[in-house]
Amino acid sequence: MEKVVIIGNGISGVTATRHIRKNSEKELLIISAETEHFYSRTALMYVFMGHMRYQDIKPYEDWFWSKNRIELMFDYVEHIDTDNKQLDMASGQQVSYDTLIVAVGSKSNKFGWPGQELDGVQGLYSWQDLELLEENVKEAKRAVIVGGGLIGVELAEMLHTRDVKVTVLVRESEFWGNVLPKEEGMLVTRHLRDDHHVDLRLETELDEILDDGNGRVKGVKTKSGEIIDCQIVGLTPGVSPNIDFLKSSNIEVNRGVLVNHYFETNIPDVYSIGDCAEFKNPVEGRRNLEQVWYTGRMHGETVAQTICGNKMTYQPGPWFNSAKFMDIEYQTYGMVLNKPKDNEDEFYWEHKNGKICLHLRWDKDSDVFTGLNVFGIRLRHELFDKWLREGAKIEEILSELKTANFDPEFYDHYEEEIIEKFNGEKQRNVKIKPKKWWLKLLKS
């Protein structure tokens, strides 16, 4: 029986494993050095905040693995010998494979700041990071977080629940400015500052992390020379592929493990998926490193087909993503860059409370909708997926906004207000259609 070994028990590796099992009787082994079972990385924060326990963030009960004949190994792969198809484990044992999937995820970026190895300085990615944070928070009154992205906000929210005052240093002039348009960045900034009293400092760069003399952090110095006392420094300026252990192997790497659209590496029978995979040629309109939950899942779904004999290229549908900034939910459908492309027109609506907004983009010439960001309103993924695939026009989408709403029942609606503003600003005459059953719209 062919033996497939999967290194990494995150969403990518586990999805690939599950789908291989659905389509074959191959022998399956998942190796992880992080936790014995798969857990949802995106839920780490909730464990720290006391919303859930470790067992609550495991997507499958522990019996799931043996029932599906998936073997689990809690060990660390030190070296991959692709010539002999063998893995050398930290425990000293060796594991052979016929097919290998490298799905080892990321590690937190550290940009060589002086003091970045001090005690109390950490990222937030793994279960071990969470355990470390539990230790570090014990004596902490104040923390400095470096990098304003999703994980930075999560870390700020987590620390707030333990009464730690948080300062966030953001290098750019807008919050998450390399991803979010300016308006959204400001909305999040206001929410963090005004509603949650986060000391968010834009255009502030870390210079060095200060040692208290015992190898523990006592503060940070910014590029402008200001010193901020703190007991925790959270480094959250993004993540990069966790591939140091591959350097001794024949597998070709750049920033990540280099793969083609079948997730094949340069070595036959070795695949790589998820955060750690780097496309030699990215799928059109997408990045060559895809480091979100949803893409990891799609990588896993796809590579399982190839491994089971149904060779399939990676064909992601329209981009989508979501997040939550403290109390404000964010969804995005289609590709919305921080600045509109040359061919794009855009429209931005914000509720007068400054916490709800909708940002639309479309092609200037053809009117074809290209994407949206939405904060504080939930929208239907299926409908936007359909509209993006079919090249629906901006006016059609706006007119069906009521049907596309996914908020809970009885919530306030803003569709009319949005369209009124749109018509006024863009000299158009979109008429809003009454809400209809969304599946009818989906199938039409």
Partner 1 sequence: MKTLKYIGLFIFLIGFGLLTATPFIGSYTLTDKIMQENLSEYELEVLGDAYRKDIVGKTYETSFGISQDLMKPYKVKNEEFRSNEQWDKLLHTPPKDFAFKIAKASSNGFIANNGWLIVFLTFGLGIIGSLMYIFPNIKLMGHPGIKNDGIYHSSMQSRGWLGFLMASWFISLYIMLYFYPHWIVSMTNVVDPLKGLFIEGAGASQWFLYGLLYTVAMTVMGIRMIIKYRHNKYQIFRTCSVIFFQVVFAFMLVEILPIFNLPAMDLKNAWPLDYDFLFDWNVQAHFAAGTIGRFMFFWGIALSLVLIPLFAYIYGKRWYCSWVCGCGGLAETLGDPYRQLSNKKMWAWKLERWLVHGVLVFAIIMTIFAGYHTYNVLNNPQMDQKDILLGISAYDIRSWYGFAIGAIFAGVVGTGFYPIFGNRVWCRFGCPLAAYLGIVQRFKSRFRITTNGGQCISCGNCSTYCEQGIDVKAYAQRGQNIIRASCVGCGVCSAVCPRGVLKLENGPEEGRFGNDGPIVLGNEGFSLKDHQGE
Residue ranges binding partner 1 (CB under 8 A): 11, 18-19, 22, 40, 42-43, 46, 49-53, 56-59, 61, 63, 161, 191, 195-196, 293-294, 297-298, 301-302, 305, 312-318, 320, 322-324, 326-327, 329, 331, 378-382, 385, 389, 406-412, 437-439
- Minimum CB separation of residue 33 from partner 1 in Å reads 21
- What is the rounded distance in angstroms from the CA atom of residue 237 to the CA atom of residue 147? 4
- Minimum CB separation of residue 158 from partner 1 in Å reads 10
Q: Which residue's CB is nearer to partner 1, number 85 or number 297?
A: 297
- Minimum CB separation of residue 375 from partner 1 in Å reads 11
Q: Which residue's CB is nearer to partner 1, number 7 or number 377?
A: 377
Q: Which residue's CB is nearer to partner 1, number 172 or number 407?
A: 407
Amino acid at the residue 233: V
Q: Which residue's CB is nearer to partner 1, number 21 or number 142?
A: 21
Residue 273 burial (CB count, 10 A): 33
- Minimum CB separation of residue 159 from partner 1 in Å reads 12
- What is the rounded distance in angstroms from the CA atom of residue 22 to the CA atom of residue 325? 36
Question: From start to end of 170-259, where are the E strands?
Answer: 199-201, 206-211, 217-222, 227-229, 232-235, 239-241, 257-259
CA-derived radius of gyration, the chain? 23
- Minimum CB separation of residue 423 from partner 1 in Å reads 27
Q: Which residue's CB is nearer to partner 1, number 116 or number 272?
A: 272
- What is the rounded distance in angstroms from the CA atom of residue 276 to the CA atom of residue 255? 8
Name every residue whose Cβ is closer than 8 Å to that of residue 439 and which is 6 or more positions away in sequence: none
Q: Which residue's CB is nearer to partner 1, number 201 or number 380?
A: 380
- Minimum CB separation of residue 166 from partner 1 in Å reads 14
Question: From start to end of 40-134, where are the E strands?
Answer: 70-74, 77-81, 86-89, 94-96, 99-102, 106-108, 121-122
- Minimum CB separation of residue 241 from partner 1 in Å reads 20
Measured over the CA atoms of residue 71, residue 72, residue 75 and residue 81, the dihedral's sign is positive
Contact 146, 174 (CB under 8 A): no
Q: Which residue's CB is nearer to partner 1, number 301 or number 396?
A: 301
- Minimum CB separation of residue 370 from partner 1 in Å reads 17
- What is the rounded distance in angstroms from the CA atom of residue 368 to the CA atom of residue 398? 12
Q: Which of 332, 340, 339, 335 lies closest to 358 in space, CA to CA?
A: 332
H-helix or E-strand spanning residue 346: strand 344-350
Chain position carrying tokens 């059953």: 437
Contact 209, 233 (CB under 8 A): yes
**Residue 341 exposure: Cα atoms within 13 Å on the Cβ side:** 14
Residue 11 burial (CB count, 10 A): 28
- Minimum CB separation of residue 349 from partner 1 in Å reads 18
Q: Which of 337, 336, 356, 360 lies closest to 348 in space, CA to CA?
A: 360
- Minimum CB separation of residue 133 from partner 1 in Å reads 14
